[in-house]
Amino acid sequence: MKVLMTEYLRIDLESENWECRVCDHTIGSARGNYKEGMLVYNRDPADIHPSIIDPEKYRFTFCPDKDWVHIYEFYCPSCGTQVEVEYTFPGHVPLHDMEVDLDTLKKQWSQRDELTEPTTGPNVLVDRGHRHH
C-alpha cells in the first residue's frame, strides 16, 4: 500500500521508501529524510520576486535581499518536479521537515483503504435555490 504524503511524495509501506508521485522514482528510505534523495538549488530571490521599483535607485524594492534570505529548491532527480521550496537563513542547513514514524504509519493504514487521490475536504457549494429535473 502507498500513502500520499504531499502533493508530490508518497510512501510505499511495503518497500518502506519515499517515492515521487509524478514519475514513480524511488527517492530513499521512508525512515529517513526525503530531501537527501533530492537535487537542491540555491535560487536567487530576484528570479522569483521582481524588483518592481528600481534597485539602482532604492534599497527596498519588493525583491527579497539575497544576503538576508536564501531559497532552497528541492527537485526530483528523475523528473525535475519541484517537490518543495524552503525560505531560510543564509547558510542554514535544510530542515528535516517530515520525519515519519513509519511503523505507526503502517499500523494506522492497515485499518484503511488505499487512496490514489488525496481527499480534499468538504466543498462549499453555492445554493442556487430550487432545481427542477
Partner 1 sequence: MNKPIDLKNVAEDQDLIKKFLKETTLFLGPDPEIIRDHRIMPRTDYEEKCVQEHSDLNQIASIRDRLQAACEEGFEMVEQMGAAPGAKWGDIITGIYSASGDLTIGSAGGVLIFSALVHHPIKFIIKNWIDEKTVGVNEGDGFIHNDSRYGNVHNTDQSMILPVFHEGKLVCWVASTVHEGENGAIEPGGMPSMAETPFDEGLKMSPFKVVENYEIKRDLLTFLQNSVREPKLQYEDMKVKLFACMRLEKRIKEVLAMEGPDALTACLRYTNDSVVEEVRRRIAEWPDMTVRTHVIMDSTLRENVLIKVNLAVTKTGNRLIFDFSGSSPEITNRAINTQLPGLKGMVAQSFMNHVWPDLPRGQAGFSPIEVITPNASIVDCSYAAPNSQSLMAIFTAFTVAQHATAKFLYSVPEKHTRVLAPWFNMIGTFIWGGVNQHGETLGNLCADLNGMGGGARMDRDGEHALAPIFATMADIGEQEMNEEEVPFLQLVSKKMTTNTQAPGKFRGGMGYSMIVATKDSDQWGFMTTTVGSKAPPIQGLFGGYACGSYPLSKVTDVDVYDVMMTEPERFKHSIPEIMNEQPFENANYSTHHMGMGFDLAKRGELYMISQGSGGGYGDPLERDPYMVIQDIEESLITPDWAKKLYHVVFNEETLKVDEEATEAERKKVREKRKAQGLPYADFVKKYVKDQPPENIPFYGSWNGDNDMVYAGSNDDKRDAKDPGPIYMINPKDVKIAELEEELTTVRNVAGLSAKDTRT
Subset of residues 83 to 122 that bind Zn ion, contact rule: CB under 5 A: none
- Position 49 contacts partner 1 (CB under 8 A): yes
- Position 29 contacts partner 1 (CB under 8 A): no
CB 74 within 8 A of CB 38: yes
Residues whose CB falls within 8 Å of the CB of residue 40, separated by 6 or more in sequence, listed in order: 72, 73, 74, 75, 94
CB 23 within 8 A of CB 37: no
Quick one: which segment of 2-10, 12-20, 125-133 binds partner 1 (CB under 8 A)? 2-10
Residues in the chain: 133
Task: Give the Cα separation of 77 and 58 in Å (integer).
Answer: 39
- Position 76 contacts Zn ion (CB under 5 A): yes
By CB under 8 A, name the one of 14, 110, 116, 119 that touches partner 1: 119
As measured in angstroms, the least distance from the Cβ of 47 to Zn ion is 22
- Position 36 contacts partner 1 (CB under 8 A): yes
By CB under 5 A, name the one of 22, 46, 98, 102 that touches Zn ion: 22
16 vs 75, which CB is nearer to partner 1? Answer: 75
As measured in angstroms, the least distance from the Cβ of 65 to Zn ion is 32
Q: Which three cell numbers stand for residue 127?
A: 445554493
In degrees and rounded to multiples of 5, residue 68 shows phi and psi of -110, -20
SS3 108: helix
Task: List contacts with Zn ion (CB under 5 A).
Answer: 20, 22-23, 25, 76, 78-79, 81
